[in-house]
Amino acid sequence: MAWLLSRAVTAPGTAGGGCAGGMHSAAASRCGWACSWMRSFGVEREIKRLRLKGSTADAYRRSKPPKLHKSMLQQYLKTLKARDDALDLRGQDKLAQAKAPYALTSEEKTALLVRYLPDENEATQRLRKLGHRWMWRWIDRRDWKRWDACLERMKADSIPFDEVTYNLMIFGMLLHPRREDVEAQLFLAEMAGARKFHPALLRLQSGFVDSYFELKEVDATPSRENLQKVAKTFWRISLLFKKRRVKELRQRLAEAASEQRRLAVAGYSDERRIEEQQELEDALAGTMSDEEDGPRVKFPARRPRQLQGVHRGSGVPKRRHHKWKH
C-alpha cells in the first residue's frame, strides 16, 4: 500500500502529484481508491473556504486546480462555472428537483413584485442607484452645491426613496456645512412615516442621530472622516435590510399567487377570488407597517441566575460558589 501511494505521488506527467490537475477525471479510473483518496484530501476545506455550492462545488471536486494566486483562482472559478460539465450538473440538479404544482416562474414572480411594488422596476432602480453614486461622490469631494442639485433632481424626477437614499440624506445633512443638523431628524421622521422600512433599521438610525446630538451638546461630535466611515457602514446595513424586505415581499406574493392559482383550478368563483385578493392586499398593507405588536421586553424583567443576590455596593457575595470562574 505504501509503495502504491509513493508511486502515485511521484508519477511523472501529472500536475501537482498523482492525478492532480486537469487529468484527474481520466486518471482516477486507473488509480482506483488510493488516487481518489489522495485527490480529495483537503478539497472539502477549500470548497468551504471559497463558499462554493451546488454544481460548481461538484465540478470543483472533480477538477481541483493546483494552488493559484487569488486573482487567478477567481478567474478559474468563473471559467469552471461556465464549463459544459458544470452546466450539465446544473441541468441534472434541476431535473432532480420536483417542481411544485402551481408554482410561479422567476419572471412571473418579478412581474408580480413590480405590480405591487412599482418602486422596484428596472428603470427606477437604475436611476436610483445612479443617484446614490453621484450623491456619495459629491459628499466625498465636498461639492455641496452639486449634492443639493442631485437631491433636487431625484425629487423632481419622482424617484422613490429607499433605505440607502434616506441614509445618504441623513448623513449628508450632518456633513453639510450650510445645512442645519436638525434636518437629519426631519428626514428620519419622513423615513419612519413611510411605514415600509424595518423597525430595527429605524431604531439604529434614530439611535445614532440621538447620540450625535448628545455629543454635539458637549462639543464632541465625530470628525468628518469618521462620519463618512459610519455612513459607509450604514449604507451597507441599509442595503442588506432592503434586500431582505424585497425578498420577503416577493416570496409572500408568490406564495399567495400560487395559492390563488390552485383555488382557481379547484373551481372557486370569481367573487371568492376577488375577496381573497382584497384580503391579500390588506395583509400586505399591514406587513409594510413599522409598528410592533408589543414590547420587546416582558416586564417585570428577571435578573440572570448568575446575578441573583448581587446588589450594588455589596461586593461580590457568594464568590466561593463560583471559584471556577475566578
Note the pLDDT of residue 311: 57
Separation of CA 144 from chain center: 31
Calculate the CA dihedral of residues 219, 220, 221, 226 and round it to 10 degrees: 150
Give residue 246's identity as a one-letter amino acid code. V
Q: Tell me what pLDDT residue 55 has.
A: 78
What is the C-alpha separation between 129 and 150, in angstroms, rounded?
12
Integer Cα distance of 71 and 74 in angstroms: 5
The DSSP code sequence of 279-309 is: HHHHHHHHHT----SS-SS-SSPPPPGGGTT
pLDDT at residue number 106: 86
pLDDT in tens, 2-57: 444 344 444 444 444 444 444 444 444 444 443 444 444 467 877 887 888 887 78
Distance, CA of 304 to CA of 212 (rounded, Å): 32
| 9: Cβ contacts below 8 Å, ≥ 6 apart | 17, 18, 38
Query: Angle at which helices 199-217 and 224-266 pack, to 10 degrees?
Result: 160
What would the grid cell of residue 199 be? 423597525
Could you tell me the CA-to-CA distances from 207 to 116, 183, 202, 204, 289 in Å, in that order?
Answer: 31, 16, 8, 5, 20
Neighbour-count burial of 243, counting CB atoms closer than 10 A to its CB (0-12 exposed, 13-18 middle, 19+ buried): exposed
Q: How many CB atoms lie within 10 A of CB 170?
A: 24
Please give the C-alpha separations between residue 323 and each of 265, 271, 314, 326, in angstroms, as whole numbers: 69, 71, 18, 5
Strand residue runs (E) in the chain? none
Q: What is the pTM of this model?
A: 0.56
CB-based contacts of 75, cutoff 8 Å, min separation 6: none
- DSSP secondary structure of 106-148: HHHHHHHHHHH-GGGSHHHHHHHHHHHHHHHHHHHHT-HHHHH
Segment (H or E) for 188: helix 182-193
Low-confidence ranges of the chain (pLDDT < 50): 1-41, 95, 290-291, 326
